[in-house]
Amino acid sequence: MADGLLPGALRDPDGNQEDRDGTVSLFDGPAPVVRILDSYDAEIAAVAKFLEDAISDGVAPAEIGLFVRDPASIGRARKAAQLAGVDSAATVALMHLAKGLEFRAVAVVGCDEDSLPLQSRIEDAADEGELDDIYETERQLLYVACTRARDRLLITGIAPGSEFLKDL
């Protein structure tokens, strides 16, 4: 599902490279639903509908996670959770905090052109090598957030959306 986000080989911070060819997941995971919307209001409504559908299919609010890349986008996820009536039980957090968690339903919100990769990180890159590392790290953040979904996954952004979403 989200494997298209990562390259065939990964480098760790020490420079060691691991080949991913032939990697087999024990879980097939849900096919992601990617929605690129025209406005914040449309995105919030789409995420709220996704959450309402999950609840009506028996997903408990505590089994729902909403993730965003940056603090500036967290309000969008919170508004959608509030609109769906799950704001007191669903997890709303930054992608950095997603690792190690698992949810039946996940919405990755705010995957906008300037948020993923985060524009401020790109502007701070000193050289081409650092820029490559930033892109790799940003892509891995999206991968981790997406792979937190066990049963259903929604990824949203405002048009034109993150360049990374084309790989899904």
More confident residue, 1 or 121: 121
Q: Residue 1's pLDDT is what?
A: 46
Number of domains the chain is built from: 1
Q: Residue 26's pLDDT is what?
A: 47
Residue with tokens 């691991």: 18
Answer whether residue 70 shows pLDDT above 60.
yes
Position 122 confidence tier, pLDDT thresholds 50, 70, 90: confident
More confident residue, 90 or 32: 90
Computed on alpha carbons and rounded to an integer, the radius of gyration of the chain in Å comes to: 16
Q: Domain limits at 125?
A: 29-167
The amino acid that residue 145 corresponds to is: A
Tell me the mean pLDDT in the region 150-163.
96
What global pTM score does this model have? 0.83
In a domain, 14, yes or no: no
Question: Which residue, 63, 153, 151, 159, is CA-closest to 111?
Answer: 159
Tell me the mean pLDDT in the region 119-127.
85
In a domain, 23, yes or no: no
- Kindly report the average pLDDT of the chain as a whole number: 87
In a domain, 9, yes or no: no
Give the integer Cα–Cα distance in Å for 68 and 118: 11
- 141-144: long-range contacts, CB 8 A cutoff, minimum separation 24: 141/69, 141/95, 141/96, 141/116, 142/2, 142/5, 142/69, 142/95, 142/108, 142/111, 142/116, 143/2, 143/5, 143/6, 144/95, 144/98, 144/99
Question: Which residue, 149, 16, 19, 14, is CA-closest to 6?
Answer: 19
Q: What is the CATH number of the domain that holds 98?
A: 3.40.50.300
Position 84 confidence tier, pLDDT thresholds 50, 70, 90: very high
In a domain, 71, yes or no: yes
